[in-house]
Amino acid sequence: MKVIGCQIKGAPGEKYWAALALYYSKFFDAYKEEGINFWAMTVQNEPEKPPLAVSQWETLRLTAEEERDFIKLNLGPLMKKNHPDVKIMANDDQKPGIMDRSAPFDDPESKKYLSGLAFHWYQNIDFILPGAGNYKNLLEFSETYPDMFMLGTEACSGYLPSLVGTGKGPALEDPDKAWKRAQHYARDIIENSNNMAAGWVDWNLFLDSDGGPNWAKNMVDAPILVDEKNGAEFYKQPMFYIMGHFSKFVPPGSKRIEFPKTDTLDDFHRCAFVTPNNQVVMQFLNRDSDEVTFTVKQTDSNTFTLTMPPHSMHTVSDAKTCADDTGYSIYPFTGKPTEEQMPAIWANPTCTGVLQDAIDSDLPDCTIDFEATQLNVRTELTVDATRCGVFESRRKMLRA
């Protein structure tokens, strides 16, 4: 089914818009009766496409001004009355258009019902153009509306045409594609986090081996594929383990520590967090075809050095010398991804808390120095991390 238009009659505040708001409210009522509660909602899925664009998705075309008026005249007041604990997010569309659709956040009457911004990853990601991703739009939004959170609400791989990027459908039989898709996940999660996003949501945690089912025949990929044709087998793909790096070691309530970015290592990504237990977690992604050696130094005495193979992901938690037994890495594989081919990243970290000692000490702050070498270029990065979670950074570039 494809639909042209996807608009609602009348104007916000009128009966059809009121009916839509009531439909949303009754949706939550019905689930609540079954013991299922929701913490948040978005106003509409991908509303920014032109009114006459063809769509095969559940969506409603809204201008930014219509979304603003619907929130303040219909949806916001009704949800506040019937479901005051459900947070409302606006936009729920692609990152390039975030600041062009800021009307709901600029109007105090609509903004008072909003808690955050939702966004998708499908446009201008670096599947085709390296370095793309529109992450600066996230930072601009955060700086403009610091009281609003940002959440990546939809992402998947395997949605592109067959000859573009990693192509269409599942990549279970193609290890190279499967690994590239895992790297896309890791890069997007890291860069979203570095630009103030609060979380990242996969569109499908599992699908069947064809990449479905769905009524739109949009066969894509997922972190877990279930082989429903040949019994109760399922495959955890590299994307699953990439997500595990973040969901295992960065629990809710963690605060990000700034790792300044350097232009000399475009394919080397990093982020760091302090968990609610004051545990320091650092995550590194090397998408380059060469290995990268780097050193992380806390104060003047506590240091570890790690060499990352090409195309690998590594998490270090409460590091002392975590290059081997207390870091958690995944690397490219051959053949179908099986449990035996993936290192056990789920074990608890065993490294002693040297970095944690600095955070828990009486010192006003701690310093983490980061040094990476690659292709005769050396980058020194210094992070001043205050205990209260407010971070300042400085960068010093040196050529070897």
Candidates 48, 67, 154, 191; catalytic one? 154
Strand, helix or coil for residue 94: strand
What CA–CA distance (Å, rounded) separates 379 from 370?
8
Q: Does an H or E element contain 241, and which?
A: helix 238-249
Catalytic, 46? Answer: yes
User: Which listed residue (46, 48, 67, 191) is catalytic?
Assistant: 46
Q: Comparing C-alpha atoms, which of 282, 340, 339, 286 is closest to residue 313?
A: 286
Tell me the two tokens of residue 10: 């009348």
268: left (phi over 0), alpha (psi -120 to 50) or beta: beta
Give the number of C-alpha atoms closer than 13 A to the C-alpha of residue 260, restricted to the C-beta side.
22
DSSP state of 265: -
Residue 316 near residue 322 (C-beta atoms within 8 A): yes
Whole-number Å distance between alpha carbons of 373 and 265 = 9
> Which pair of structure tokens corresponds to residue 70?
């619907």
Active site residue 154: yes
**Beta-strand (E) ranges in the chain?**
3-4, 40-42, 54-55, 87-94, 116-120, 149-154, 199-200, 206-208, 224-227, 233-236, 255-257, 268-274, 280-286, 292-298, 302-308, 312-317, 327-330, 365-374, 377-386, 391-399
Q: Which residues are catalytic?
A: 46, 154
